[in-house]
Amino acid sequence: MNPIDGVLLPELDSPVRDPHLPRALGWLSLALGASAVAAPGPLARLTGIDDSPAAGTVIPALGARELGHGLGLVAGRRPSGWAWTRVAGDAMDLSLLGWAMTDRSGERRRRLALTTAVVAGITALDVLAALSAGRARRTRDRTIRIDMAVTVNRTPAEAYRYWRDMENLPRFMSHVEAIRTIDLRRSHWTVRGPAGRHVEWDAEIVDDQPNRSIAWRSLPGTPVPNAGRVRFVPAPGERGTEVRVQLGYVPPAGAVGRAVAKVFGEEPEQQVRDDLRRFKQVLETGDVVRSDSSPDGISVRQQVMQRPAQPLPNGFRR
Amino acid sequence: MKATAWMGRDSVKVIDVPDPTILSPRDAIVRISTTAICGSDMHLYHGYIPAMRKGDILGHEFMGEVVEVGPQVRNLRPGDRVVVPFPIACGHCISCQRGLYSVCENSNPNAGIAEKIMGHSPAGIFGYSHLLGGYAGGQAEYARVPFADVGPLKLPDEVPDEQAVMLADVFPTGYMGAEMCDIKPGQLVAVWGAGPVGLLAAASARLLGAERVFVIDRYPYRLRLAREHAGAETINYEESDVLDTLNELTAGRGPDACIDAVGLEGHHGNAAIYAYDRVKQGVRVETERPPALRQAILACRSGGVVSVVGAYGGFVDKFPMGAFMNRSLTMRTGQCHVQRYLRPLLERIQRGEIDPSFIVSHRMPLKDAAKGYKLFQKKQDECSKVLLTA
Ligand SMILES: NC(=O)c1ccc[n+]([C@@H]2O[C@H](COP(=O)([O-])OP(=O)(O)OC[C@H]3O[C@@H](n4cnc5c(N)ncnc54)[C@H](O)[C@@H]3O)[C@@H](O)[C@H]2O)c1
Ligand SMILES: [Zn+2]
Ligand SMILES: [Zn+2]
């Protein structure tokens, strides 16, 4: 499964969420750090270094460091960065333990060996967590995210109803060629791709709040994982409805990905803006607004390469 | 069909193009009987409005007979005689519903480009650049009229083309220019520009109760029209200092309201100032030549209204913001919301309160459009308004 399928949608609604491991390790850091600062004595005995005069200062210092990592992992914005600081901390602990082991024997040495084994295990987990957080971040960095809104002079219920019928979407989403509903939640999308090719996927509605909001996402297996949410909020001053859209999609990496990204819009923002403008036109005026130089309505491409403002060639009928 | 096409700077040509067809259910096709050349067309002709393409059909003032309607146009029928407002307006957006038709939120399919220049997009306009929609204009034999269920006004037979076509733009525009002045009894109004818009703004100011109206221009024949048909007193800015004269006429107060009916191609009596703006406009550092606007602000009574119907497209230099701010002036402006004036102004014409066709100086067949443009541009042969007929 493409990892983005698991993170894309929640991410559109709330601040970045990562796989659970880094955060769990963060809590571990907090617990360890707190006990090291508050009660260095028992910890020193447990690990077998209670004979060292330095233990009383070194252990609380390590505890403070651990608290730092823990806070970073639990509350920080970039867990992958903090996960690597934990790995660095582990390395430091391991070398301290190795050094302590050289001049100890018997029960103390046994305890130190056990501690070293535990820390080594934690280090392995930390490396894993750091790697996975990094992967999630890189996918996220490729995600194209768009927030856009338009005000439509219709009630939230009318705007919702039109959008909820997914087969209406191609009327105003210029790159979407067709949407076929499979059942109440699922639909099949056909989107214009590079060089006349098509990209297709199935999508499902994952959250449906009548007259208020709709959220959908592509099902696993699409080359362009994507998700979106649209909200219908009454506009202040009796001006209809604020239609607020959040979209995200992940173009595949590599050359194919770049081509797909281009088709989805060299200026994805402009494309979504134009889509919303057409949505407004269709709801308010009943049709996409066409001029002689833009007979198919707004489109980014057409705005750059307009035909002259003359009637279309004879026989043109729509 | 034959249509007047923009071929580049200072060049129009009547060419053959396909007949228009219905593209949307709310469209109508109109066979044009009379159309007019406007001061706004001059801005396109001179290349001061961006986003024109060779072959664009010009013209936004037209009327004629409905020959075809889309399935959702129920108020019109083939055979109806109509005048068509120049702004294209959907009738259903918030702006349209509040009567602000020229800022219709839906009618510009190229709103994306307009937003980049103006922040938000105004309405689309017939034959007025790709910035405002890329709609084919009405200096042609036929035109496609979008939102035909909202815009066009059916005309009674007794109102001749010559009067009716004034409703497409210049009469409502002049009227709105005067209306924005919020004229109270006893007030004095000054109008810059004695073109069709300025003349009809002056006449409208009288209709709306202005005590005295002053019109400023440099063409004696246009100033004569202002005196004879708009009840105005006139100032030739090449003969006398405008600010001094206005102060004298208003006993030092300044006019209560000042109307700019000149727009972005203003001329200035002082050669040096004129050259300053001309050069900057020529190299596109400044997009407008705004001497009339500057003067209107300086002339206006403190607390008065500056009403701007002259057209601007971009940015203005040396705007006297200090005078504007310190003297509590108000500026009101806009492309005319023609749709909301059609019926009341038609009624004023029918009641004989005004005959707006007094501004018309030339009538010629459509095929002579290029000649009409030259005459109007050069103000030859006392040209004040050119009508083109089928
Ligand atoms: N707001 C609208 O909806 C709307 C509609 C139509 C036209 N317009 C604009 O109104 C303006 C006038 O249109 P028109 O058809 O009457 O054009 P026009 O070219 O016939 O008239 C302009 C007049 O202004 C005079 N003038 C130039 N510089 C002057 C100055 N410094 N002081 C006084 N007069 C000066 C010219 O001599 C000319 O007579 C144009 O800018 C046009 O684009 C606006
Ligand atoms: Zn005009
Ligand atoms: Zn509208």
Complete DSSP assignment for A192-203:
E-GGG-EEEEEE
Round to whole Å and give the CA distance between B30 and A28. 78
Inform me whether the C-beta atom of residue B145 falls under 8 Å from chain A C-beta atoms: no
Inform me whether the C-beta atom of residue A102 falls under 8 Å from chain B C-beta atoms: no
pLDDT, tens digit only, all 390 positions of chain B: 999 999 999 999 999 999 999 999 999 999 999 999 999 999 999 998 888 999 999 999 999 999 999 999 999 999 999 999 999 999 999 999 999 999 999 999 999 889 988 999 999 999 999 999 999 999 999 999 999 999 999 999 999 999 999 999 999 999 999 999 999 999 999 999 999 999 999 999 999 999 999 999 999 999 999 999 999 999 999 999 999 999 999 999 999 999 999 999 888 878 888 888 888 777 766 677 899 999 999 999 999 999 999 999 888 888 999 999 999 999 999 999 999 999 999 999 999 999 999 999 999 999 999 999 999 999 999 999 999 998
The tokens 């067809």 sit on which residue?
B21
Q: Which of A277, A293, A304, A314 to mutate to test the interface with B (most CBs of B within 10 A)?
A: A293
Instruction: Classify residue A239: in a domain, yes or no.
Output: yes
Closest CA to A176 of A233, A140, A220, A216: A216
Residue B313: partners with Cβ closer than 8 Å, 6 or more residues away:
B43, B48, B49, B50, B264, B287, B288
Sort out which chain B residues have CB atoms less than 8 A from A242's CB and list them: none
Question: Cα-Cα-Cα-Cα dihedral of B304, B308, B313, B316, to 10°?
Answer: -30
* The last residue of a domain, from among A86, A107, A140: A140
Select the more confidently predicted residue: A164 or A252: A164
Is residue A180 located within the same domain as residue A292?
A: yes
Residues in chain B: 390
Domain boundaries, chain B: 2-169+336-389, 175-333
Residue nearest to atom 17 of ligand 1 (CA): B39
Task: Quote the tokens at residue A157.
Answer: 């219920």
Q: In a mutational test of the pocket of ligand 1, which residue from B88, B173, B262 has the highest number of ligand atoms less than 8 Å from its CB? A: B262
Inform me whether the C-beta atom of residue B126 falls under 8 Å from chain A C-beta atoms: no
DSSP annotation of B341:
T
Is residue A42 located within the same domain as residue A150?
A: no
Inform me whether the C-beta atom of residue A168 falls under 8 Å from chain B C-beta atoms: no
Min Cα distance A175 → chain B (Å) is 17
Contact A312/B18, CB-based, under 8 Å?
yes
8 Å CB contact between B195 and B39: yes
The domain in which residue A230 lies consists of 143-305
Q: In the A/B pair of chains, how many CB contacts fall below 8 A? A: 132
Round to whole Å and give the CA distance between B289 and B285. 11
Q: What is the pLDDT of residues A217-232, one digit of tens each?
A: 999 888 888 999 999 9
Round to whole Å and give the CA distance between B384 and A166. 56
Q: Which amino acid is at B96?
A: C
Please give the CATH number for the structural domain made up of B2-169+336-389: 3.90.180.10
Task: Quote the tokens at residue B111.
Answer: 């709103």
Alpha carbon A38 to its chain centroid, in Å, reads: 38
Sort out which chain B residues have CB atoms less than 8 A from A266's CB and list them: none
Is residue A147 located within the same domain as residue A128?
A: no
Closest CA to B26 of A156, A282, A312: A282
8 Å CB contact between A245 and A146: yes
Task: Quote the tokens at residue B364.
Answer: 């010629």
The tokens 């497209």 sit on which residue?
B313
Is residue A134 located within the same domain as residue A189?
A: no
Q: Which atom of ligand 1 is nearest to the CA of B43?
A: 43
Instruction: Evaluate if residue A1 carries a pLDDT over 60.
Output: no
Instruction: Classify residue A256: in a domain, yes or no.
Output: yes
Q: In a mutational test of the pocket of ligand 1, which residue from B61, B126, B180, B197 has the highest number of ligand atoms less than 8 Å from its CB? A: B197
What's the pLDDT at A7?
42
Q: Which of B2, B23, B24, B97 to mutate to test the interface with A (most CBs of A within 10 A)?
A: B23
Average pLDDT, whole number, for chain A?
81
Round to whole Å and give the CA distance between A117 and A127. 16
Nearest Cβ partner for B134 among A306, A312, A317: A306
Is residue A214 located within the same domain as residue A72?
A: no
* The last residue of a domain, from among A140, A157, A186: A140
Nearest Cβ partner for A311 among B17, B97, B109: B17
8 Å CB contact between A151 and A235: yes
Q: Which amino acid is at B156?
A: P
Min Cα distance A312 → chain B (Å) is 7
Kindly state the helix (H) or strand (E) to which residue A63 belongs, with its residue range.
helix A55-75
B81-84 and B61-69 strand pairing: antiparallel
Task: Quote the tokens at residue A311.
Answer: 């009637």
What's the pLDDT at A195?
67
Is residue A74 located within the same domain as residue A198?
A: no
Task: Quote the tokens at residue B234.
Answer: 């006139």
Round to whole Å and give the CA distance between B150 and B96. 10
Inform me whether the C-beta atom of residue B5 falls under 8 Å from chain A C-beta atoms: yes
Task: Quote the tokens at residue A131.
Answer: 């790697």
Inform me whether the C-beta atom of residue A297 falls under 8 Å from chain B C-beta atoms: yes
This complex has an ipTM of 0.92
Q: What is the pLDDT of residues A5-23, one digit of tens each?
A: 444 454 444 444 455 777 7
**CATH at A183:** 3.30.530.20
Min Cα distance A192 → chain B (Å) is 21
Q: Which residue of A has its CA nearest to B53?
A: A308
Round to whole Å and give the CA distance between A29 and A27. 5
For residue A49, name the pLDDT band (cuts at 50, 70, 90). Answer: confident
Is residue A151 located within the same domain as residue A237?
A: yes
Nearest Cβ partner for B112 among A298, A312, A316: A298
Report for A72-76, A260-264, B43-47: range of highest mean pLDDT: B43-47
Closest CA to A205 of A187, A221, A179: A187
DSSP annotation of B58:
P
How many domains, in total, are found in chain A? 2
Q: Which residues surround ligand 2, an ion (CB under 5 A)?
A: B 38, 40, 61, 169
Task: Quote the tokens at residue B225.
Answer: 């029209």
DSSP annotation of B135:
B
Query: b/e per residue, B169-188, with b = 16+ CB within 10 A?
Result: bbbbbbbbbbbbbebeeebb
Instruction: Classify residue A315: in a domain, yes or no.
Output: no
What's the pLDDT at B137?
98
Q: Which residues line ligand 1 (CB under 6 A)?
A: B 38-40, 42-43, 169, 173, 192-198, 216-219, 222, 237, 261-263, 266-268, 291-292, 309-311, 335-336
Instruction: Classify residue A312: in a domain, yes or no.
Output: no
Q: Is the Cα dihedral A4, A6, A8, A14 positive or negative?
A: negative
Inform me whether the C-beta atom of residue B72 falls under 8 Å from chain A C-beta atoms: yes
Is residue A134 located within the same domain as residue A281?
A: no
Q: Is the Cα dihedral A218, A220, A225, A228 positive or negative?
A: positive
Round to whole Å and give the CA distance between A270 and B168. 34
Round to whole Å and give the CA distance between B178 and B191. 9
Could you please state the CATH topology (level 3) that the domain comprising B175-333 is classified under. Answer: Rossmann fold (3.40.50)
Q: How far is CA A66 from CA A56, A83, A122, A279, in A?
A: 16, 12, 13, 53
Query: How far, in Å, from the CA of B87 to the mean position of ligand 3?
Result: 10
* The last residue of a domain, from among A105, A121, A140: A140
Is residue A110 located within the same domain as residue A195?
A: no
Round to whole Å and give the CA distance between A120 and A123. 5
Task: Quote the tokens at residue A289.
Answer: 């607004």
DSSP annotation of B159:
S
In a 10 Å sphere around its CB, with 0-12 CB exposed, 13-18 middle and 19+ buried, how is residue A141 labelled? Answer: exposed
